[in-house]
Amino acid sequence: MALQIVHGWQGLPEASKGASIAMGNFDGVHLGHRRVLAEAARVAGAARAPFAALRFRPHPVTVLRPDAEPFFLMTPGQQARALEALGVQRLYDLPFDLDLAGLSDEAFAREVLAEGLGARHVTAGFNIHFGRKRSGDAEALRRHGAALGFGVSIVAAATDAEGGEYSSSAARQAVREGDMQAAARILGRPFAIEGVVVEGAKMGRQLGFPTANVALGAYVRPALGVYATRTRLPDGRAVPGVASVGTNPTVGLVEARLETWLFDFDEDLYGQTIETDLLAFLRPEVKFDSLDALKAQIAADADQARALLAPAF
């Protein structure tokens, strides 16, 4: 069954209500989120109810702090696919605005969860906050659920073998530092940038290394530098490569973007949507004294990336 996306919470038909709902923002759909989703799925199965997730769009931070630095780990489309892959049948997109932000935690539980969505059960993480000025917490959700007639499960923190917490904040920090292995351990998969291939100055082609250029958009900014990559094309093919996340200091400064050279590939990708996994950080961005020096370094980067990626391709 394809994922059903339900927009809003007011005036919904009965067929769109009555789910076991995992509540959160789920940016990254990391291993901690998956514990919340697994509990909501377990309850859904036991209650013979639809398994649903709830997210806010736009993300509350973009409404309450519009000047915040880009911080997303995935686009809404990537997130929906990740949730569907985990068995989510219904995704509630709650439009977040100042009116919704102004609801008290009790009003949110009553008007949105109980009356609007007709929730059978709500599952959330131990650090849940909801309602005006984040006034509601896990205990408040339990209390409101008991009063309003829906069940509540609160899931404890998920940690790795060393006690590190699986969290979106930790994943973002790892990406910012270029620690792609740490990011992948938290996310349960590589950090990936998805976007439409746009035309650039075509300097890479002139140098002998044609790149597919994608804007970083609202993604958290990875450490500027060079990465070993895997890119998924619209037809499902996965192509190894090497990419620069940077500003092109040698050939002319631009806004930071992702430029990926796909190995052994010579097809037109302009206007197509691709998704590139950043698998390993190879080196920081450097300004070279000449184009010849830049070309030599790109060739060396490619050799290093090919060696790292060889077991997978």
Active site residues: 259
Residues 26 and 30: their CA atoms lie apart, in Å, by 8
R_g over Cα of the chain: 22
Q: Is the dihedral of CA 145, 146, 149, 154 positive or negative?
A: positive
φ, ψ for residue 219, nearest 5 deg = -65, 150
CA-wise closest residue to 173 among 127, 223, 217, 225: 223
Decide if 33 contacts 133 (C-beta within 8 A).
Answer: no
SS3 state of residue 210: coil
**In this structure, what token pair is assigned to residue 211?**
């790149």
Residues 116 and 108: their CA atoms lie apart, in Å, by 10
Decide if 166 contacts 30 (C-beta within 8 A).
Answer: yes
**Helix 168-176, helix 180-187: angle, nearest 10:** 160
E strand or H helix that includes residue 298: helix 291-309
CA 83, distance to chain mean position in Å, is: 11
Please tell me the total number of residues recorded for the chain in this structure. Answer: 313
